[in-house]
Copies of this chain bind each other. A is one copy, B any other.
């Protein structure tokens, strides 16, 4: 089949690579905002051809949208407006409620699958796309009853062939969970980087001393503003809820230190250790 990937970066690019390797995509057409990224994607053989949106959609069996969430809504509607009744559209956005709400009454809604493959790295652009990206991870599919059986089966098969397992959720619940397990991790990491950059002037010392702990908590701070700023803004209500709770949890640590309350400090850490239940 022919897959048109709108957005040839980390997710779209890795999807293209995976589907070509599996022989599922005979041809991958790329649509991008800049000619630079399209040229890079062509050069890296991630896509076979770069076309303008209309033409690229026309030729596609499946249209895979993997662009920042604020752009996804408009593009999804434009693509749905264009397609025939044989084509399928999927998105990979990190928020699902705004999008699902925007397209809920579209006459082609059944040909759309709202998905969120739970994989990513702190890198972006076609150069960040890798083989084997999604294997072993979960893919969330939202509002599955609003997609036709054909669309759902076709899209789920793609993800499963890439080694993912499917979990179902309402768009609202997805966005709440995503705020907890992904969005807040990125905000704390950005804020931690800003803390260090603000106060710590001896960067050589940090560089020398930085062990695994620093590296792992600050790694996400390298992530792209073009991708993450729209995610936080669009999922504002949930993100603010989590952020307020997180600040209040940090204040408990602050209070325990200010009051030199060792028992309380130990209690806070022991409680945090319960995360072992959740993390593998």
Contacts and interface: CB of A to CB of B under 8 A. Distances in A.
Chain A: interface secondary structure? Answer: helix
A255 B190 CA distance: 15
Contact of A195 (B167, B200, B210, B242): B242
A214 to B, nearest CB: 4
Interface stretch (A3-11, A141-149, A217-225): A217-225
A6 to B, nearest CB: 22
B200 A180 contact: yes
Number of copies: 2
Contacts of A233: 257, 260, 262, 265
Nearest to A176: B200
A277 B203 contact: yes
Interface residues of A, number: 93
A268 interface: yes
Given A188-B217, A240-B254, 15 more contacts: A169-B205, A180-B195, A181-B210, A182-B211, A187-B253, A190-B272, A193-B271, A197-B274, A203-B278, A215-B279, A229-B266, A229-B269, A232-B257, A243-B253, A243-B257
